[in-house]
C-alpha cells in the first residue's frame, strides 16, 4: 500500500521506521513545523522530521492544515492509506476522506480507556496494572473510532512514563504494520468502542506537579513516576522546591504525619504518606540544581527525621 504518514515526536518514530522496513511504500510524511528546543531555544526538527530527512522522504510541515495549497499537496501523494502516530493536530473531515483506505491511528492505550492527549502518563498516575496500544480508525470525534487491533502491555510497579512510552511505541509499530498488511488484502473487522467505558487522559500541565502527601503512598509513588520526564512531581520543604525523579515503595508503616521524613540515608529518603505507609525518594533535584541520587543529594542538602515537606 502507498502510505501517507502523520507523526511528530519520538513515539511516532518506531512506526515510521517499521513502515519503511515493510513491503509498503511511505509516499510522504506530514509533521509539525520545526520548533525551538533546549536551553538555547534553537529551531530544530522534531524526531519524525529527522527520520524523514535521513530517509530522503517527501516532507510536509504545514503550520495549519487549512493553509492554501496543503490539500492539493496531500492529494498529490496519491496515498492508499493514511497512518497517524502522535501527529498532535486534529485532522479535518476532508483529510480523513482523502486516502481511499481512510486513516488509521496508533493510540497508546487500551481504548476506550484513556482517550486524549496523555494516555501513558494518566495510566501510570492512575496506578493501572496494564495498558497497551490500540490501532483504530480515525474519525472526527476524539479517539472514538472503531478498533482494528490491540496489544496489551503490563505496567511494572516502578516504571516511569518515558520508559513505558518507549515500550508502547515499539509494540504499536509492529501491530500497525500487521494491520496494514491485512488491509492490503481488503476490508478487515472493525470493532466499535464501548462508550460506557470511556475515560479521558487530560493533557499534562505544570499544575499537575505538586504532590499532596496526604494521599496514599501508592498514589504518591504513581504520581512521581507518571510525571517523569515532564513536568516532574515536586514538593517543597523549608521554602525550597524539590523535583522528585524516582521513588519506590519500601513497605512498612509509620505513625508520622503525612509529609514527615521518617529516615534519610544512602538508600533513599523515606517520607510518610496519608495512609501511614512510606514513599522512598531515590533521585531528587533542588530547583536549579543537578539531578542526584539520594546519597549525593543528602551530602549537600541534609534532609533528616523531624523535618517535613509542606502540605498544599
Q: According to the 3-state scheme, what is the secondary structure of 49-111?
A: HHHHHHCCCCEECCCCCCCCCHHHHHHHCCCCEEEEECCCCCCCHHHHCCCCCCEEEEECCCC
List pLDDT tens digits, range 160-201.
Answer: 999 999 999 999 999 999 999 999 999 999 999 999 999 999
Q: Evaluate whether residue 305 is within a structural domain.
A: no
pLDDT, average across residues 74-102? 96
Residues 81 and 162 in one domain: yes
pLDDT, average across residues 3-31? 98
Residues 180 and 247 in one domain: no
CA distance 219 to 272: 12
Residues 151 and 231 in one domain: no
CA distances in angstroms from 126 to 60, 114, 237, 262, listed in the order given = 37, 11, 26, 26
Q: Which of 143, 173, 201 is the last residue of a domain?
A: 201
Q: Evaluate whether residue 73 is within a structural domain.
A: yes
CATH number for the domain harbouring residue 117: 3.40.50.170
pLDDT at 44: 85
Q: Calculate the CA 249 to chain-centre distance.
A: 23
CATH number for the domain harbouring residue 219: 3.10.25.10
Q: Evaluate whether residue 132 is within a structural domain.
A: yes
CB 44 within 8 A of CB 113: no
Residues 45 and 152 in one domain: yes
Residues 158 and 277 in one domain: no
Q: Which of 177, 201, 225 is the last residue of a domain?
A: 201
pLDDT, average across residues 247-255? 96
Q: Evaluate whether residue 229 is within a structural domain.
A: yes
Residues paired with 279 in a beta bridge: 271
CB 173 within 8 A of CB 131: no
First-residue to last-residue Cα distance in the chain? 55
List pLDDT tens digits, range 192-230.
Answer: 999 999 999 999 999 999 999 999 999 999 999 999 999
Residues 97 and 191 in one domain: yes
Q: How many domains does the chain have?
A: 2
Residues 9 and 107 in one domain: yes
CB 1 within 8 A of CB 25: yes
Domain residue limits at 178 = 2-201
Of 32, 28, 34, the closest CA to residue 82 belongs to 28
Residues 40 and 143 in one domain: yes
Q: Which of 180, 201, 222 is the last residue of a domain?
A: 201
pLDDT at 43: 85
Q: Evaluate whether residue 140 is within a structural domain.
A: yes
Burial classification of residue 70, based on how many CB atoms lie within 10 Å of its CB (0-12 exposed, 13-18 middle, 19 or more buried) = middle
pLDDT at 67: 87
Residues 97 and 219 in one domain: no
Residues 179 and 254 in one domain: no
Is the peptide bond prior to 112 cis by the omega test (within 30 degrees of 0)?
yes
3-state secondary structure 168-181: HHHHHHHHHHHHHH
The percentage of the chain sitting over the pLDDT mark of 90, rounded to a whole number, equals 93
Q: Evaluate whether residue 116 is within a structural domain.
A: yes
Tracing cell 543537578 back to the chain, one arrives at: 290
Q: Evaluate whether residue 236 is within a structural domain.
A: yes
Q: Evaluate whether residue 310 is within a structural domain.
A: no
Residues 219 and 143 in one domain: no
Residues 44 and 140 in one domain: yes
Amino acid at each position: 500500500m502507498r502510505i501517507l504518514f502523520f507523526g511528530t515526536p519520538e513515539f511516532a518514530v518506531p512506526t515510521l521506521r517499521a513502515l519503511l522496513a515493510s513491503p509498503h511504500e511511505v509516499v510522504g510524511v506530514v509533521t509539525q513545523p520545526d520548533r525551538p528546543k533546549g536551553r538555547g531555544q534553537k529551531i530544530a526538527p522534531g524526531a519524525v522530521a529527522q527520520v524523514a530527512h535521513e530517509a530522503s522522504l517527501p516532507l510536509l510541515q504545514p503550520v495549519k492544515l487549512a493553509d492554501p495549497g496543503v490539500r492539493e499537496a496531500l492529494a498529490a501523494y496519491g496515498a492508499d492509506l493514511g497512518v497517524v502516530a502522535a501527529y498532535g493536530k486534529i485532522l479535518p473531515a476532508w483529510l480523513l476522506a482523502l486516502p481511499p483506505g481512510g486513516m488509521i491511528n496508533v493510540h497508546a492505550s487500551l481504548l476506550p480507556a484513556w482517550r486524549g492527549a496523555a494516555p501513558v502518563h494518566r495510566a501510570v498516575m492512575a496506578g493501572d496494572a496494564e495498558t497497551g496500544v490500540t490501532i483504530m480508525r480515525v474519525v472526527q470525534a476524539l479517539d472514538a473510532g472503531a478498533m482494528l487491533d490491540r496489544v496489551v502491555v503490563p505496567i511494572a510497579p516502578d516504571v516511569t512514563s518515558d520508559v513505558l512510552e518507549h515500550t508502547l511505541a515499539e509494540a504499536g509499530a509492529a501491530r500497525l504494520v500487521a494491520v496494514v498488511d491485512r488491509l492490503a488484502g481488503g476490508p478487515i473487522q472493525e470493532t466499535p468502542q464501548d462508550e460506557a467505558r470511556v475515560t479521558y487522559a487530560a493533557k499534562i500541565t505544570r499544575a499537575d506537579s505538586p504532590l499532596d502527601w496526604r494521599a496514599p503512598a501508592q498514589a504518591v509513588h504513581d504520581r512521581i513516576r507518571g510525571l517523569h520526564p515532564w513536568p516532574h512531581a515536586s514538593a517543597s520543604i523549608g521554602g525550597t522546591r524539590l523535583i522528585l525523579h524516582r521513588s519506590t515503595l519500601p513497605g512498612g508503616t509509620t505513625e508520622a504525619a503525612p509529609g514527615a521524613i521518617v529516615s534519610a540515608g544512602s538508600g533513599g529518603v523515606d517520607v510518610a504518606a496519608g495512609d501511614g505507609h512510606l514513599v522512598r525518594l531515590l533521585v531528587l533535584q533542588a530547583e536549579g540544581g543537578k539531578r542526584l541520587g539520594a546519597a549525593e543529594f543528602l551530602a549537600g542538602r541534609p534532609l533528616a527525621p523531624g523535618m517535613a515537606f509542606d502540605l498544599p
